[in-house]
Amino acid sequence: MSVISTFGKGCKGALALNACKGSGAFCAVSCPFNINGAVWEEGQPCCYTEGPQKMYKNLVPFLDRHEKNLTMFLYGILSVMDKLQKAPWVRFSSFGSFPEQEELDSTQQGLLQQIAKGLQAQIAAGKVHFPVETLGKYHYYKSLGFLPRLSLATAMDPYDPWIKKACVVGSLKDPMTARKEAARAKAKELNDQGVIAVPCPAVGSKSKTMKCGKCTACGSSKVDMIVYPIHV
């Protein structure tokens, strides 16, 4: 099974590992962007993965294979560990999410532990981005040795320094320049209050230097908060 892919925001050589599609089996229904979720309503901004998933016809079947054969997918990650260890940047869940601990059997939990162990040097060097959307996932994947980053769509204290976080600001009704300005302003507001916050430079940029891997903020244990301009 082919398990690795690339992603638009990634620098040359960056690799992505996706366990399911956006709004897929492992995305929490509490995520406000999940089109199968209890809080999502037609007409609201939906998951940023919807556009590419509609545009590239082979993408959803590729992601569905991982979702339906999670154990094989995890074995597949271990089989390409040498490639992941050499990559300048590894992004988990550029589409979808990884499961809650309760959704995993003991074999799958053991495989995830081995994956975290294999990537320890990259995680310590701040070259791995592992976004999660629930506090439960944050604590579970952290206990395995990953450095997850929690989306602030999960209700929680933005100032808690023990949890590495990301939030989204701005309105889709505004032009991207205004959304980027809103992200810069939010990051500055947080910086002024002692939170180490970084506005994501990749969203809305065509620059090859503004890419994940060139920017390593999401994988850094020193960055408390990433501020994304809203995008789809």
Which stretches within the chain are classed as H helix?
Answer: 50-55, 59-68, 70-79, 81-86, 106-118, 120-124, 135-144, 176-192
At residue 59, the 3 state secondary structure works out as helix
Least distance between ligand SF4 and beta carbon 114 (Å): 24
CB 151 within 8 A of CB 97: no
- The CA distance from 157 to 55, in Å, is 36
Shortest distance in whole angstroms from residue 71 CB to ligand SF4: 21
Cβ neighbours of residue 73 under 8 Å, at least 6 residues apart? 1, 3, 19, 65, 66
Q: Minimum distance between the CB of residue 39 and ligand SF4, rounded to whole angstroms?
A: 11
Q: What is d(CA 165, CA 186) in angstroms, rounded to the nearest whole number?
A: 14
Q: Which C-beta is closer to ligand SF4: that of 129 or that of 180? A: 129
Nearer to ligand SF4, 68 or 107 (CB): 68
Q: Between residues 76 and 89, which has the closer beta carbon with respect to ligand SF4?
A: 89
Indicate the residue among 79 and 171 with the shorter CB distance to ligand SF4. Answer: 171
Question: Quick one: 122 or 216, whose CB is closer to ligand SF4?
Answer: 216
- How many residues can be counted in the chain? 232
Nearest distance from C-beta of residue 109 to ligand SF4, angstroms = 20
Instruction: Please give the residue ranges that form the binding site for ligand SF4 (CB under 6 A).
Output: 9, 22-23, 27, 31, 33-34, 47, 49, 96-97, 129, 133, 198, 200-202, 212, 215-218, 226
Smallest gap from Cβ 219 to ligand SF4, in A, equals 7
By C-alpha distance, which of 120, 95, 129, 101 is closest to 27?
95
**Dihedral sign (CA 32, 130, 218, 147):** positive
Closer Cβ to ligand SF4, 39 or 79, answer by number: 39
Least distance (Å) between residue 60 CB and ligand SF4: 13
